[in-house]
Amino acid sequence: MEGSCSLIRRVYLTLYNWAALVGWFQVLYLAVKTLKESGHEGVYDAVERPLLLAQSAAVLEILHGLVGLVRSPITATLPQISSRLYVTWGILWSFPEIRNHILVSSLVTSWSITEIIRYSFFGMKEALGSAPSWLMWLRYSTFLVLYPTGIASEVGLIYVALPYIQKSEKYCIRMPNKWNFSFDYFYAALLVFGIYVPGGPHMYSYMLKQRKRALSKSKRE
């Protein structure tokens, strides 16, 4: 019974990783193609559908951690996926005024390259039991550049969106109402913006420790 459960787990995670890989590869391909043919202004429109799908599917990784399918701590997975979902749906999808900003291109490129490498690595590990050393090095090294460019793009897009958030009053709840509750999306966005200040360096430090541990283990093997 235990062997069957282990096999089902491996098959499921292999399929999940390869499906996510295809999705992010499509995002990168469309982004690069659009940048080459018409410039950064059209990147979001080109990648919107696969981007929304690929990024939303990452919610499953939180569930994977909660039920013990993977070893990744939920404390590391949750903030990273939550922040990306917020930028994807709460900023880019919600405020079309910023979709032609050049930071969208750096965001999409950073995210897609990172995820292509990550899902390739974990897909091979689940399917074959191991991944090539060069792929492991990429998995634990490319973030040194791509994490700062990605998080800078996230923070930058939230900042660019702030005037549109304030002006539109989208998602705001004003009193009086039957719930006796008010909510201002502008101040919520400012709060998220502020969380990036301690959160970004903390996550980067965590990934540096992960890199040191993984590459040291690889050398011993």
Tell me the catalytic residues.
147, 154
What is the Cα–Cα distance from 177 to 181, expressed in whole angstroms?
Answer: 7
- Is residue 100 within 8 Å of 40, Cβ to Cβ? yes
Instruction: List all residues 6 or more positions away from 189 whose beta carbon is below 8 Å from its beta carbon.
Output: 90, 91, 158, 161, 162, 165
**3-state helix, strand and coil shares in percent for the chain, rounded to the nearest 5:** 80, 0, 15
Distance (Å, whole) CA 122 – CA 117: 9
Q: Are 165 and 185 in contact (CB under 8 A)?
A: yes
Asked whether 33 and 46 are in contact (CB, 8 A), the reply is yes
DSSP state of 141: T
3-state SS, 197-216, equals: HHHHHHHHHHHHHHHHHHHH
Q: Judge contact between 70 and 137, C-beta under 8 A.
A: no
Structure tokens, 127: 């399917």
